[in-house]
């Protein structure tokens, strides 16, 4: 047997290997081919095409979500609009057709300015009318036991509703006249009046007691009470400014007193208090510092006078007063006064009513 030599095996393989291209040659040729033919060029157009391909895949998820979101917004908006329309329809019917005076509608009109009338080109809030009705109903139900559901109670409430409406209209004219005459009421005046009313009516020595009294009798808060007092003070201050004749009368009598005139004689001649003028202006009985029937403004001056002395002119709001300490026995004073009543506010708002007619939106 012939012995196989190494050259007999590896020689042909070497020849084949030498005939094959090298790996580096193949790699270089492939790289050249890829770099020149297969790699795409990056341009604005190719980027736009690629972005559109990506977005196209996402739109099938985005469009349904967006559509659902739009439907939710439309449905929610429709429900809100429907609720608002129903709510306003209910309030309109309750206020203007059925004249409902419930606590709920009172609170609604506190927020939403439904008008009850138009005075001199300005709307009058329905809340002002309900404010008057609410404290009236509260007082007569809780303190007088009136049943406003019964026949007599309904008739009583009907009468007061007309009075409340008239008051609200008058208050609107007073506000207009006050603006014309530059009359206003400050918070300090209101707070001072609260102190006066508290002392005069014994409504409590502090604000907590006062608030309990107001809530019990009228269903009022302190702010409600201030609201009412501000309305009253504005009317009083307006009359005091416009009624110059009453101021002149009071001053003329004070001048006569200063010239030596007799207090009792002048009271009989000039005082507007028909119950005391025939008795020289003398109050019946004696007066103590806790007397609730005499205005606090008078009391605060009267107890500073010595027997035989008289005061200057005191403005109590409804009237001007001159008081005299006739005699004093301890904490008790025998006193007299000369009273000058201001004209009623209707004297001054009547011409404005004639000039600017009111338009009322309810018929009682």
SS3 108: helix
Task: Decide if 207 contacts 225 (C-beta within 8 A).
Answer: no
pLDDT value at residue 1: 44
Q: What is the pLDDT, as a whole number, of residue 209? A: 82
Answer whether residue 210 shows pLDDT above 60. Answer: yes
Q: What ranges do the domains of the chain cover?
A: 43-98, 103-242, 262-342
Q: What is the pLDDT of residue 290?
A: 79
Label each residue of 109-120 as H, E or C: HHHCCCEEEEEC
Using CB atoms within 10 Å of the CB of residue 109, give its burial: 0 to 12 exposed, 13 to 18 middle, 19+ buried. Answer: buried
Instruction: Reply yes or no on whether the pLDDT at 98 is more than 70.
Output: yes
Could you tell me if 321 and 339 are in contact, meaning their C-beta atoms sit under 8 angstroms apart? yes
Instruction: List the one residue out of 288, 290, 196, 315 whose CA is nearest residue 323.
Output: 315
* pLDDT value of position 10: 46
Look at 64-78, 132-146, 250-264, 317-331 and tell me which has the smallest mean pLDDT: 64-78
| pLDDT of 19 | 53
242-245 contacts at long range (C-beta below 8 A, 24 or more positions apart): 242/181, 242/348, 243/342, 243/343, 245/343
Q: Is pLDDT of 2 > 50?
A: no
Position 356 scores a pLDDT of 87
- DSSP SS3 for 148: coil
**Residue 3 in this model has a pLDDT that exceeds 50:** no
Of 312, 135, 160, 152, nearest in space to 221 by CA: 135
- pLDDT greater at residue 293 or residue 186: 186
Residue 360 has pLDDT above 70, yes or no: yes
pLDDT at 55: 56
pLDDT at res. 42:
59
Q: Taking residues 147-151, report their average pLDDT.
A: 89
Mean pLDDT to the nearest integer, 38-66: 58
| Confidence band for 75, pLDDT divided at 50, 70 and 90 | confident
User: Per-residue confidence at 213, pLDDT binned at 50, 70, 90?
Assistant: confident
SS3 content of the chain, % helix, strand, coil (to 5): 65, 10, 25
- Tell me the mean pLDDT in the region 131-152: 90
Confidence of residue 155 (pLDDT cuts 50, 70, 90): very high
Which residues on neighbouring strands pair with residue 329, listed in sequence order? 332
> What is the phi-psi region of residue 66: left when phi exceeds 0, alpha when psi lies from -120 to 50, beta otherwise?
alpha
In CATH, the architecture of 103-242 is: Orthogonal Bundle (1.10)
pLDDT confidence of residue 247 = 97
Task: Determine the Cα–Cα distance for residues 169 and 163; give it in Å rounded to an integer.
Answer: 10
pLDDT for 140 beyond 60: yes
pLDDT at residue 83 tops 70: yes
Is a pLDDT exceeding 90 seen at residue 256?
A: yes
- State residue 34's pLDDT score: 47
As a whole-number percent, the residues of the chain with pLDDT over 90 amount to: 60
pLDDT digits (tens, 9 = 90+) for 275-321: 999 999 999 989 998 787 888 899 989 999 999 999 999 999 999 99
Q: Alpha-carbon distance 211 to 4, whole Å?
A: 129
> What tokens were used for 123?
């709307």
pTM comes to: 0.75
Q: What is the pLDDT of residue 54?
A: 57
pLDDT score, position 26: 46
Residue for token pair 């157009």: 45
Q: What percent of the chain has a predicted confidence (pLDDT) above 70?
A: 79
């Amino acid at each position: 047997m012939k012995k196989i030599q190494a050259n007999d095996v590896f020689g042909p393989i070497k020849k084949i290997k030498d005939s094959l291209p090298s790996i580096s040659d193949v790699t270089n040729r492939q790289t050249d081919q890829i770099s020149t033919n297969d790699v795409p060029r990056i341009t604005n157009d190719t980027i736009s095409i690629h972005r559109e391909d990506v977005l196209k895949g996402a739109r099938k998820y985005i469009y349904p979500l967006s559509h659902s979101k739009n439907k939710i917004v439309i449905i929610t908006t429709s429900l809100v609009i429907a609720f608002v329309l129903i709510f306003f329809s209910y309030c309109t019917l309750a206020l203007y057709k059925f004249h409902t005076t419930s606590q709920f509608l009172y609170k609604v009109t506190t927020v939403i300015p439904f008008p009850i009338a138009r005075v001199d080109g300005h709307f009058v809030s329905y809340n002002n009318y309900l404010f008057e009705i609410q404290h009236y109903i509260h007082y007569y139900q809780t303190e007088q036991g009136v049943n406003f559901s019964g026949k007599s109670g309904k008739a009583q409430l009907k009468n007061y509703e007309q009075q409340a409406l008239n008051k609200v209209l008058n208050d609107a004219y007073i506000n207009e006249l006050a603006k014309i005459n530059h009359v206003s009421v400050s918070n300090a005046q209101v707070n001072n009046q609260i102190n006066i009313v508290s002392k005069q009516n014994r409504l409590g020595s502090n604000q907590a007691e006062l608030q309990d009294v107001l809530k019990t009798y009228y269903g009022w808060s302190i702010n409600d009470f201030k609201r009412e007092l501000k309305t009253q003070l504005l009317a009083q201050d307006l009359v005091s400014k416009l009624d110059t004749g009453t101021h002149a009368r009071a001053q003329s009598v004070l001048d006569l007193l200063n010239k030596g005139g007799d207090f009792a004689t002048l009271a009989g001649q000039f005082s507007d208090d028909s119950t005391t003028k025939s008795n020289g202006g003398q109050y019946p009985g004696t007066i103590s510092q806790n007397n609730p029937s005499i205005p606090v403004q008078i009391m605060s001056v009267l107890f500073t006078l010595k027997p035989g002395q008289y005061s200057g002119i005191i403005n109590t709001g409804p009237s001007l007063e001159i008081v005299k300490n006739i005699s004093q026995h301890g904490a008790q004073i025998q006193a007299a006064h000369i009273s000058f009543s201001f004209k009623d506010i209707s004297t001054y708002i009547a011409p404005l009513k004639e000039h600017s007619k009111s338009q009322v939106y309810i018929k009682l």
